[in-house]
Amino acid sequence: MSESVGEDGKGKFHRKTFDRIDPERRATILRVAVAEFAAKGYSATGINDLARKAGISIGSLYSYFASKEDLFLAVIDTGSETLAKELSDVDPSYGFFSCLESLLRKARAAADRYPELNQIYLDSTTQGLASLAARLSNRLEAVTADLYRRMFDAGKASGELRPGVDPGYAAFCVDNLIVMFQFSYSSDYYRDRMRIMLGLTDDEAVDDERLIACIVGMARDSFGARA
């Protein structure tokens, strides 16, 4: 465990020495770590190879991170910070379904823009990383959980959503839709699964707009206020 980490999910997973090195070197280490974990998965990633590709000694790497686990969690932090920036302009006051459509479009764009982070997220959700589950979920899901609750609270307050909608349970359902939507563009398996479900032939393209409209329409039917 690194010296500045708390079990409340706050703090950083690196040692103080990591903050003292050149910013470009910090960025290189994290960039190499993202590439290695995305390509090989957590279990198969070798810390020695990672250090070599980052251009540092194994001793230096361990002076920055107490373990491979902490380096992986630092990478997860990088992904969480990226997610927070991507979602920073989603304003619940714009309306629940407008926000939902925006989130789906952002998820679609993120599948192309951040393929390595998407692969790491996929790896993070497997049972093989069960030992890290609590620490991973606290870092990965807190940003969206807070946004969803604010979206549902604002939607109920404005009358856009039914009064009886439970923000927590409904947020879980919406998040599953968005996560699976994004997985369907960032994972070969889920991409093939989507094409099978949509009944597409090999030469037919997915109609992204139609799919987004379908998801938003389903949410409107489920949560929207009755006329």
DSSP element (H, E) containing 209:
helix 208-223
Q: Which of 115, 113, 119, 110 is nearest to 44 (CA)?
A: 119
CA distance 62 to 153: 45
Can you give the pLDDT at residue 1? 38
- Half-sphere exposure of residue 34, counting CA atoms within 13 Å on the CB side? 19
pLDDT digits (tens, 9 = 90+) for 187-223: 999 999 999 999 999 999 999 999 999 999 999 999 9
Q: How does pLDDT run across 17-28, given as a tens digit for each residue?
A: 999 999 999 999
Would you state the pLDDT for residue 77?
87
Q: Which residues pair with 11 in a beta bridge?
A: 5
Question: How high is the pLDDT of residue 11?
Answer: 55
Q: Which pLDDT band, with edges at 50, 70 and 90, does 121 fall under? A: confident
Mean pLDDT of 100-124: 93
Mean pLDDT of 100-107: 98
pLDDT (average), residues 117-128: 85
Distances (CA, A) of 132 to 18, 56, 128, 212: 22, 26, 9, 33
pLDDT in tens, 71-82: 999 998 888 889
And the tokens for 8? 């409340």
Which of the four pLDDT bands, split at 50, 70 and 90, describes residue 138? confident
Domains and CATH numbers, the chain: 16-73 (1.10.10.60), 89-223 (1.10.357)
